[in-house]
Amino acid sequence: MKRLFCLLLIIIGSIFVGFHIIRLWRGMALSQKAYTRESLLEAASIEPSNPDPYQKLGVLHQYNLLQVDLNESVRYFQKAIDKNPLEQEYWLHLAKIYQRMENAAASDRALENAIFVFPTSYRGRWIAGNLLLQRGEIERALPHFSYILNHYPNQSSLVYEVWGRSIDNPDFILEKLVPHNPSAVNQ
């Protein structure tokens, strides 16, 4: 009877520990709450050199369902950038916000900084190209998409789909967008 009880206790303990390890591994915790403005400001005051709370505050203000505040979002992303100017994601968020605010010059500066920080990034090139296409700046979007076609050929179908919807001129796409190498022309 004592053996059975010990075996049962070991099995229950193993399941309990395994459950918590898996939940932590997946990034979830039972006591984890949603981010609030107050909790993020408290986190920023505890560790002022950490840019993450400012980035999360920027996202919170950017996508708040009740009240979008793009100016606050810009302010927090600029604080995050002050703490870590080498994080491309912060610059990309800033460029998107300025685009929504219809401030093309500021959006361009943020995009330039994002590409400068990580020039080989697929995500940076993709977002820069798409933001420029949304503004109708086709000539400026071309180098970003050409870069993707040159260095990320597995993403070529997405690029061609976007350009097929943007421009109904296959000759333009072949002449200007497609890199001049045999594999790119084949795709």
109-121 pLDDT, tens digit each: 999 999 999 999 9
CA distance readout (Å), 149 to 83, 122, 180: 33, 10, 10
Q: What is the pLDDT of residues 36-78, one digit of tens each?
A: 888 888 888 888 899 999 999 998 888 877 778 899 999 999 9
Q: Domain residues for 86?
A: 34-116
Q: Residue holding tokens 């789909």?
A: 161
What is the domain-level CATH number for residue 49? 1.25.40.10
Are 83 and 151 in the same domain?
no
Task: Round to whole Å and give the CA distance between 79 and 161.
Answer: 36
Shared domain for 55 and 110, answered yes or no, is: yes
Q: Which two tokens stand for residue 93?
A: 């968020």
Instruction: Give the number of domains in the chain.
Output: 3
d(CA 34, CA 144): 36
The overall pTM is greater than 0.85 = no
Q: Which residues are within 8 A (CB) of 96 and not within 5 positions of it... i.e. 6 or more apart?
A: 62, 107, 127, 131
User: Residue 172 and residue 184: Cα distance in Å, rounded?
Assistant: 15
